Amino acid sequence: MAVESNALLRVNNLKKYFPIKAGLFRKTVAQVKAVDDISFYINEGETLGLVGESGCGKSTTGATILQLEKATAGEVIFQGKDVLSFSKKEIRGMRRDMQIIFQDPYASLNPRMTVTEIVGEPLDIHKLVRNKQEKKERVKQLLGSVGLSTEHMHRYPHEFSGGQRQRIGIARALAVEPKLIIADEPVSALDVSIQAQVINLLQELQQEYGLTYLFIAHDLSVVKHISDRVAVMYLGKIVEMTSKVDIYDNPLHPYTQSLLSAIPIPDPTINKERIVLEGDVPSPINPPSGCRFHPRCPHVMEICRGEDPEFKVYGDNHYVACHFLDR
Amino acid sequence: MRILDEREKLLEIRNLKTYFYTEEGVLKAVDGVDLLLHSGETLGLVGESGCGKSVTSMSIMRLLPSPPGKIVDGKILFKGRDLAQLSQKEMRKLRGNDISMIFQEPMTSLNPVFTIGNQISEAILLHKDVTKREARRQSIEMLKKVGIPSPEKRIDDYPHQLSGGMRQRAMIALALSCDPQLLIADEPTTALDVTIQAQILELMNDLKKSYNMSIMLITHDLGVVAETCDTVAVMYAGKIVEYTDAKGLFGNPSHPYTWGLMNSIPRLDQNIEKLHTIAGVVPNPLDFPEGCKYNTRCPIADDKCLQQEAELQEIRKGHKVRCWHYERLEQLKKVH
Ligand SMILES: Nc1ncnc2c1ncn2[C@@H]1O[C@H](COP(=O)(O)OP(=O)(O)OP(=O)(O)O)[C@@H](O)[C@H]1O
Ligand SMILES: Nc1ncnc2c1ncn2[C@@H]1O[C@H](COP(=O)(O)OP(=O)(O)OP(=O)(O)O)[C@@H](O)[C@H]1O
Ligand SMILES: [Mg+2]
Ligand SMILES: [Mg+2]
């Protein structure tokens, strides 16, 4: 992987396997290779979009970086330090710099806490305020920055719409002044008109606070809009990573090509060529041998069945894992 | 002379009102819907969550939970017959025969304790005078048509043994097994990945052509609409606010809501710095505003809009809009 001088986060050969246990003695009979040897970096102030179909390992990637899940192997270098070797105390400190926003604004907020308590909680945990008054002021300011007003402070999550709840989740993430925010499908559960409000908010906040985002989503249109670079995942692997312009104008991996062609364009006058993939996404429990995409790939060659393609650079910062490009 | 419009009206909905009588009050889920669907066409019904799309389809199918739901007014003319007036017994004859329905979640129509072959054969036996063996043969044929690989083996699978995309296909096979004239598809691909969605949409288009079937496609995805529908109805807060052919809708959106919606979606084929947003949120259906229901969010609303709701009027041939100021929207479009 190319060395990036100002990378805030660098992930090297990260793996996360989940054991599947069965039988009387709960023996491990198989493994879900949810994330299987992925590498990428995110520069300071940049947004990297991570896209891919359901179950390809996007959320697991996010959770493993944050150490909500223990990595099976690999390195997560954040601000120059490998956080996977951190002690519990160091992890807690790290969580100030790395925050997460979840997809489901309903499930991720405690229904029994008021907005002030939800947003104020991380301030207490990290001892960022000295007294109640200071906390109140800070919460007010945080709510203001996500477009909520003081009248909302004493209400409970169920009194808010989906978009408003997502704003509360964003305010809570911002409370500790993080450097990196992992946004796991932050707009997928929202209606289109509300989705646009939240996307714009995330972009404004990035400008204002110089935030770095790992933006996880399955909607490539949304990802392309918000990201500087995009990484495409398939069955536990990153198959392509490049600038958002190149991913759209010059996709090199056959999976990226078919994914792009499958997205319906809201314009009936455009008649585009569609590559319809055969079959379903296979299971990560027994992933196909060689290149994991080979059973569905329109360009499959003999080598693809046996050998896992290397994730290599083809052109300016354009990484692809595909034998077809070397033919 | 009937040269102007020779297409046969298959389904015509006039002023449909479906209300829920809840503890908190009367919820006007569908509040005066007008729709027209011709034979062999796909009509898209789009709108945001809670605007009344599913309640409209449940009203057509007469599958409303009642109480609390009730059709309080309007006509649902299917080949000239008013479905709103039929008895449940008469409706049962129509459902799965002339009209079929598929849902976002296939398990709402597939029974987990029977094999898919069992369920499709059952439906065929119920509607056609054939032997059991013939019904099984036709079921395999149907599964093959919807693109399920090795259907003669898969026919004996239970729904849980199939992947999400295959289950969706099995449900479509079940819905089509009796050659319906109208297929109502309520978010049939929303839960699926895009590559699987592309497969299912292509399948529905092929089947529509080969069966000369009409489809009412309910979705919130404008991309899906653009790629599959002939005509489109945009719904907001229980009413149709715009109705026209797909080209007209995307080329010339004439209701401020439709226009706002189209501009607020990020597009793969365009680069926009900043997304357009629609201010505010959808109004609470228990407490709709007076006048036009979009007046709380509309950039061009004035006093008239606060007091009175516009009719769905034809502003050019085949293009209907419910807005007092659709002409003003043209100016707003120029600014953006
Ligand atoms: N705790 C766990 N135990 C076992 N398997 C798991 C666990 N968490 C995730 N998996 C599996 O790992 C794979 C990747 O899951 P993950 O949630 O990361 O996917 P995703 O890309 O986020 O998908 P989605 O778009 O549906 O959110 C899936 O096959 C999933 O079933
Ligand atoms: N059984 C019910 N009892 C009470 N209210 C109901 C019932 N079913 C639906 N509603 C209400 O009717 C309104 C319209 O609901 P409907 O399901 O038609 O929305 P929709 O347009 O299909 O939305 P979505 O895109 O989320 O599926 C909503 O406000 C909903 O809460
Ligand atoms: Mg996920
Ligand atoms: Mg619905």
A58 lines ligand 1 (CB under 6 A): yes
Residues constituting chain B: 336
Burial class (CB in 10 A: 0-12, 13-18, 19+), A47: buried
Torsion of CA A153, A157, A158, A160, to 10 degrees: 60
Alpha helices (H) in A180-272, listed in sequence order: 192-209, 220-226, 244-249, 254-262
Alpha helices (H) in B146-281, listed in sequence order: 151-154, 164-176, 194-211, 222-228, 246-251, 256-264
- ipTM computed for the complex: 0.86
Q: Is the dihedral of CA B26, B241, A219, B282 positive or negative?
A: negative
Ligand 1 centroid–CA B223 distance in Å is 27
A282 lines ligand 1 (CB under 6 A): no
Ligand nearest to the CA of A232: 1
Ligand 1 centroid–CA B153 distance in Å is 29
For the stretch A61-100, pLDDT in tens is 999 999 999 999 999 999 999 999 999 999 988 989 999 9
| Alpha carbon A33 to its chain's center | 18
A34 lines ligand 1 (CB under 6 A): yes
Task: Tell me what pLDDT residue A4 has.
Answer: 53
Of A250-264, A265-279, B227-241, B246-260, minimum mean pLDDT range:
A265-279
Residue position matching structure tokens 């009194």: A159
Burial class (CB in 10 A: 0-12, 13-18, 19+), B264: buried
Residue B2 has pLDDT above 70, yes or no: no
Coil, helix or strand for B213?
coil
Tell whether B316 is within 8 A of chain A (Cβ).
no
Ligand 3 centroid–CA A33 distance in Å is 15
CA atoms of B290 and B297, how far apart (whole Å): 13
CA atoms of A100 and A66, how far apart (whole Å): 8
Burial letters for A67-104: b for 16+ Cβ neighbours within 10 Å, e otherwise? bebebbebebbbeeeebbebeeeeeeebbbbbbbbbbb
Ligand nearest to the CA of A57: 1
For the stretch B283-307, pLDDT in tens is 888 888 999 999 999 999 999 999 9
Mutate to test the pocket of ligand 2, among B49, B55, B186, B218 (most ligand atoms within 8 A of CB): B55
CA atoms of B217 and B224, how far apart (whole Å): 9
Coil, helix or strand for A76?
strand
Torsion of CA B213, B8, B10, B322, to 10 degrees: 110
Q: Is the dihedral of CA A201, A203, A207, A209 positive or negative?
A: positive
CA atoms of B242 and B258, how far apart (whole Å): 8
Q: Min CA distance, B187 vs chain A (Å)?
A: 14
- Work out the mean pLDDT of chain B and round it to a whole number: 91
Beta carbon pairs, A and B, within 8 Å:
120
- State the pLDDT confidence band at B6, using cuts at 50, 70 and 90: low
Nearest CA to ligand 1 atom 4: A18
Residues of A in contact with B224 (CB under 8 A): 264
A60 lines ligand 1 (CB under 6 A): yes
Of B35-39, B63-67, B251-255, minimum mean pLDDT range:
B63-67
The pTM (predicted TM-score) of the whole model is: 0.90
Q: Min CA distance, B167 vs chain A (Å)?
A: 12
Residue B5 has pLDDT above 70, yes or no: no
Closest CA to A30 of A284, A305, A308, A288: A284
Q: Is the dihedral of CA A106, A110, A113, A117 positive or negative?
A: negative
CA atoms of A97 and A181, how far apart (whole Å): 8
Q: Which amino acid, one-letter code, is at A183?
A: A
Domains of chain A and any CATH numbers: 7-97+178-326 (3.40.50.300)
Probe site for chain A from B269, B271, B284, B297 (most A CB atoms < 10 A): B269
Nearest CA to ligand 2 atom 28: B50
A33 lines ligand 1 (CB under 6 A): no
Token representation of residue A210: 């110089």
Task: Answer yes or no: do B247 and A222 touch at CB < 8 A.
Answer: no
Which residue is closest to B148 within chain A, CA to CA?
A279
B261 phi/psi in degrees, rounded to 5 = -60, -45
A232 phi/psi in degrees, rounded to 5 = -105, 125
B320 phi/psi in degrees, rounded to 5 = -110, 140
Residue position matching structure tokens 């429990």: A285
Task: Of A130-134, A235-239, B64-68, B185-189, give the range with the top mean pLDDT.
Answer: A235-239
Task: Answer yes or no: do A265 and B268 touch at CB < 8 A.
Answer: yes
Contact A108, A169 (CB under 8 A): yes
For the stretch B28-62, pLDDT in tens is 999 999 999 999 999 999 998 889 999 999 999 99
- Which residues are found with C-beta within 5 Å of the ion, ligand 4? B 54
B105 phi/psi in degrees, rounded to 5 = -105, 105
Mean pLDDT of B116-142: 92
Q: What is the pLDDT along chain A (327 residues), one digit of tens a residue?
A: 444 567 999 999 999 999 988 888 888 888 899 999 999 999 999 999 999 988 899 999 999 999 999 999 999 999 999 999 999 999 988 989 999 998 876 778 898 999 999 999 999 988 899 999 999 999 999 998 888 888 888 889 888 878 888 889 999 999 999 999 999 999 888 888 888 999 999 999 999 999 999 999 988 999 999 999 999 999 999 999 999 999 999 999 999 999 999 999 899 888 877 888 877 778 888 899 999 999 999 999 999 999 999 999 998 999 999 999 998
Contact B148, B170 (CB under 8 A): yes
Strands (E), chain B: 9-22, 25-38, 42-46, 69-78, 81-82, 99-102, 182-186, 214-219, 231-236, 239-245, 313-316, 319-321
Ligand 1 centroid–CA B160 distance in Å is 19
Residue numbers of B between 264 and 303 with CB closer than 8 Å to A: 264-269, 272, 274-278, 281-282
Token representation of residue A301: 């060659």
Probe site for chain A from B275, B296, B298 (most A CB atoms < 10 A): B275
Residues of B in contact with A251 (CB under 8 A): none
Which residue is closest to A199 within chain B, CA to CA?
B275
Task: Tell me what pLDDT residue A317 has.
Answer: 92
Share of chain B above pLDDT 70, in %: 98
Tell whether B220 is within 8 A of chain A (Cβ).
yes
Residue position matching structure tokens 């992930």: A11
Torsion of CA A207, A90, A109, A230, to 10 degrees: 40
DSSP secondary structure letter of residue B132: H
Token representation of residue A267: 């314009």
For the stretch B202-211, pLDDT in tens is 888 888 888 8
Closest CA to B83 of B182, B188, B211: B182
Token representation of residue B29: 């889920």
Task: Tell me what pLDDT residue B286 has.
Answer: 87
Nearest CA to ligand 1 atom 24: A54
CA atoms of A66 and A81, how far apart (whole Å): 14
Residue B232 has pLDDT above 80, yes or no: yes
B52 phi/psi in degrees, rounded to 5 = 115, 15
CA atoms of A1 and A13, how far apart (whole Å): 10
Nearest CA to ligand 2 atom 13: B29
